[in-house]
Amino acid sequence: MPVTLASVWMPDQHSTFAAQVDWLFYFIYWISVFFTALIAFLVVLFAWKYRQRGTNREGQHTHTHNTALEMTWTLAPTVLVLAIFLFGFRGYMNMATPPANAYDVSVTGRKWSWSFTYNSPYGMVVSDELHVPVGKPVRLVLESQDVIHSFFVPQFRAKKDVVPGRYNTVWFEATDTGHFDIYCAEYCGTRHSHMRSKVVVETPQEHDAWLRAQADPTRNPPLEAGKLAYTKYGCNACHTLDGTPSTGPSFKDLFGRTEHLADGTTVQVDEQYIHDSIMDPNKAIVAGFPSPSAMPTFQGRIHPAEVTGLITYLKSISQHYSGSIPTQWPADGGESAP
Ligand code: CUA
């Protein structure tokens, strides 16, 4: 991109309303430049023209009223301000109204990272970079897990506050493929300046292939797939990793442990127990935890390989397990029990 006057003030334009935003910006900008120059010129001119000359201060003719002048300085600013309002209002309404066919992506802001959730035809996908198809309106539903953040993609001219306790939306349509920076534009703590990510704008075919690959948990080794599933399915909301019981038992040192169940029996936590607890949380409730279970079933929602991944993850953080942690998926792609 060559350096033009526009690129001095504004980043490159890569969304459909970038040109509209910049047009209004330069409209106001050049009005300001014009009047600043005019006023500066008149200050100098009048200072020179009406300077004191000699000792004669009497007999000068002075105007007290000039209708044409007063109409000009009233009407001209009124017209300009109305024009700014109309262009601004039209642009605001355009940016505030996502098209009905927009592609929805959920955005979560937290100290200090972004995550993006897609309801793809291949299953739910969560990523830390935003992937969108080019030439298609994208509607982002923004939420915060803690404090106020602000989602900002300068090259799209898209910015919206991300506020805890409410959903905000922002939309854009990317006009070019490529990588564009995401910033947090609201001071949110010590690592605010690190709260950055990228928008990857790709062709619809590339986007579909990306979703398909992301939805396949076996793209990562079993342990990583388990760690991802732990946050993807919200296990972290009720199962801690530090041994502290929460709404559910902590995952630390769980695998291999002997649990006392609410019905008075005991069970040693093994692969089958974890599998069954995910698919039917009411089957065996550990004594001291809510009954019926506060946990929903994940039957039909979780990929079998992710169950395998979670079991692998639990083994890796348990002192009761001393076996090996597989680094590869079995030939069937993790469909079978570990
Ligand atoms: Cu998040 Cu600043």
| Atom nearest to 189 CA in ligand 1 | 2
pLDDT at res. 59 = 56
Strand-pair partners of 266:
260
Q: At what angle do helices 304-316 and 271-279 cross, to 10 degrees?
A: 130
The overall average pLDDT reported for the chain is 88
pTM of the model: 0.68
Measured in angstroms, how far is the CA atom of residue 185 from the centroid of ligand 1? 6
Nearest CA to ligand 1 atom 1: 149
Q: What is the CA radius of gyration of the chain?
A: 31
Interval 250-255 mean pLDDT: 92
Task: Give me the amino acid identity at 8.
Answer: V
Q: pLDDT by residue (tens digit) across 228-249?
A: 888 877 788 789 898 888 888 9
- C-alpha separations of 116 from 17, 139, 218 in Å: 23, 12, 20
Q: pLDDT by residue (tens digit) across 8-67?
A: 678 888 999 888 898 899 999 999 999 999 999 999 999 999 887 776 665 566 678 889
Residue 104: pLDDT over 90: yes
Identify the H or E element spanning 119.
Answer: strand 113-120
ω into 30 cis (within 30 of 0):
no
Measured in angstroms, how far is the CA atom of residue 8 from the centroid of ligand 1? 26
pLDDT at res. 337 = 47
CA 276, CA 232: separation in Å to the nearest integer? 19
| Atom nearest to 147 CA in ligand 1 | 1
- Terminal Cα distance for the chain, rounded: 53
